[in-house]
Structure 1
Amino acid sequence: MNRREAIRNVALLLGSAISASTLSALEGCNPKGPDNYALQAPETKSFLAEIAETIIPETSTPGAKAAKVDEFIVVMLNDCYKPEDQKVVLEGLKKIDEASQKQFKKSFVDLSAEEKTTLLTAIDKERVDYNKRDNKKEGDPTHYFQILKELTLTGYFTSEPGATKALRYIAVPGKYEGCIPYTKGEKAWAV
């Protein structure tokens, strides 16, 4: 199984499709290292950590911050995404902060958890509308929040805390069971 198939399987497990930009990022990584140092900035990383934690907050299981999803996002964007997609994400981060300033008169990182959720819910609705629009052409950039959500989910559910605490996980399964009954409300299997 190659990396593209593995990520596609994770997406199916999570019940969603992965955008073309994410799949194209899985084609190969940039061996020469990061080109976009704006993604390496501490304020960008902390901003990404706050967004990821809002998408997957800490509950009875660790959240995205505990899984260090912000670091995963930065590495994936720098090493695997095209410069155009990196630019879309960086511009999207500016849009999130501008929307925060406009709606709450505060920077996104200074918002309460409820305010962050309210703002990102509105941006997610914008993403859905963007993807459903009638005049969408092939080659149009992926919505920045689509990329951020996908990387957050992929980073979280492939991390140790996500795979072992949020999903059911057996390090060394004892036997193969092809059909296991599922009770509503149970965790999905990590492997």
Structure 2
Amino acid sequence: MNRREAIAAVGWVLGGTLVSAELLVSCTSKPARVNDLFDEAQVIFLDEVGETILPATSTPGAKAANVGAFMAVMVQDCYKKEDQQVFLDGLKKLDEASEKKFNKGFLKLDTGQRTTLLRELDEEQKAYMASKQPEEPSHYFRMMKELTMLGFFSSEVGATQALRYIETPGKYDGCMDYKKGDRAWAT
């Protein structure tokens, strides 16, 4: 074996070791954490739930407003521990309901299947909320729906593209004409 062959062999061995180590690390690593409660995979999941609730039409949808990250912050910073747990368990329940109904996870469903599933969950939460006691927590899907709406309509995208927005509207006019089909005011 000459010197060139020896260097090439050592290069292959070292290169293989580096590639194998990189593969091992990438295959065993967990999704990056967004905060103490949520990881990136859960935020992506919430973005898709939000986009199904408020899809893009002639205006951007919930995903454009990054509602998944908004929900993660709100649940961690503003919800009681019990409600946080209901919300986190709800992510699993939503995916389980998808598996039960369509034999695949929520993220693998097409738009029609997602809409069908979320409509059923919306009916379930309405029935639950009508009969729940004041001390009981809200239904997880109600929390997701409320946070989607709040996150979208308080975002720049929602306030400026889905609603009418004037940065400095001037005087207050409580009797402004509203024509059918006009967007609501954000300001």
TM-score of Structure 1 vs Structure 2, range by shorter chain: 0.7 to 0.9
Q: What is the identity, as a one-letter code, of the residue corresponding to 2:143?
A: I
Shift, 1:81, TM fit: 0.8
Q: Which of residues 30, 49, 54 in structure 1 aligns to 2:52? A: 54
Shift, 1:189, TM fit: 0.4
Runs of 5+ unmatched residues, structure 1: 1-33
Q: Does 1:182 align with 2:182?
A: no
In the alignment of these two chains, the number of paired residues is: 154
Runs of 5+ unmatched residues, structure 2: 1-32
Match of 2:43 in 1: 45
Give distance in 2, aligned partners of 1:138 and 1:57.
32
Q: Secondary structure at the match of 2:63?
A: coil
Shift, 1:55, TM fit: 0.5
Shift, 1:120, TM fit: 0.3
Q: What is the identity, as a one-letter code, of the residue corresponding to 1:140?
A: E
Q: Does 1:82 align with 2:108?
A: no
Give distance in 2, aligned partners of 1:42 and 1:81.
20
Give distance in 2, aligned partners of 1:129 and 1:174.
44
Matches within 5 A, 1:1-150: 37-39=36-38, 41-133=39-131, 136-150=132-146
Runs of 4+, deviation exceeding 3 Å: none
Shift, 1:80, TM fit: 1.0
The answer to whether the 8 Å contact 1:164/1:190 transfers is yes
Which entry has the higher C-alpha Rg, 1 or 2?
Answer: 2
Q: TM-score, normalised by structure 1?
A: 0.77
Q: Which of residues 150, 154, 157 in structure 2 aligns to 1:158? A: 154
* CA displacement, residues 73-101 of structure 1 (integer Å, 9 cap, x when unaligned): 11101111111111001111111100101
More helix by proportion, 1 or 2?
A: 2
Shift, 1:169, TM fit: 0.6
Match of 1:7 in 2: none
Q: What is the identity, as a one-letter code, of the residue corresponding to 2:122?
A: D
The answer to whether the 8 Å contact 2:47/2:62 transfers is yes
The answer to whether the 8 Å contact 1:38/1:44 transfers is no
